[in-house]
Structure 1
Amino acid sequence: MFVVTLSFAANKAEAPQHMDGHNAWIRRGFEDGIFLMTGSLQPAAGGVVIAHNITRPALEARLGEDPFVAENVVSPTILEIAPGRTDARLDFLKA
């Protein structure tokens, strides 16, 4: 599984003009069964994505399709996690 932080970058001010495309990108991530959670980094620092069922190279490619990443509104950092111990509700992450 992966935790991706999307930290605001040089073109942060351009976020509003790319918001529709970014939201469509998020919607596709959920529809494809890749994204488990998205949200905002507080206070107003960017966003975060929790993803699974994807390889790192495929995730990197998907991130490149995000208009926020493509237009340097955010800069992604990928943390790869190999779940060990989980609450029973999250056992599917260990697969």
Structure 2
Amino acid sequence: MFVVVLTYRADLARVDEALQDHIAWLDRQYADGVFIASGRRVPRVGGVILAGGLSAEDLERRLAEDPFRRLGLAEYAVTEFVASRAAAGFERLLS
């Protein structure tokens, strides 16, 4: 499983201009079953994505297609981890 932390590198006006394309990209990742959760950081300085069921190479390929990355609007920090415990209802997260 992976935690992806996005940090914006452009002003929010530029981020907002690309937001609909970013959401369409997110939708494709959810449809493929590899994104588990995503959302904005608070304060709004970027976002967080939880992803699973794919290799680090596949994740990197997918992240390279994100409009935020292609346009230089965000940078990405990826952390891989193995979930060994999960709350009731979240057993899918276990490796």
Mark yes or no: TM-score above 0.5: yes
> SS of the counterpart of 1:30?
helix
The letter of the residue matching 1:55 is S
> SS of the counterpart of 1:89?
coil
Aligned length: 94
Aligned residue in 1 for 2:26? 26
Report the Cα offset of residue 75 of structure 1: 0.5
Aligned residue in 2 for 1:47? 47
TM-score of the aligned structures, taking structure 1 as reference length: 0.90
Q: Distance in 2 between matches of 1:22 and 1:74?
A: 11
Report the Cα offset of residue 81 of structure 1: 1.1
43-52 or 16-25, which deviates more:
16-25
> SS of the counterpart of 1:88?
coil
The letter of the residue matching 2:20 is D
Q: Distance in 1 between matches of 2:94 and 2:44?
A: 31
25-34 or 81-90, which deviates more:
81-90
Report the Cα offset of residue 17 of structure 1: 2.2
Aligned residue in 2 for 1:84? 84
> SS of the counterpart of 1:43?
coil
Aligned residue in 1 for 2:6? 6
Report the Cα offset of residue 93 of structure 1: 1.8
Q: Distance in 1 between matches of 2:83 and 2:20?
A: 33
Q: Which runs of 5+ in 1 are unaligned?
A: none
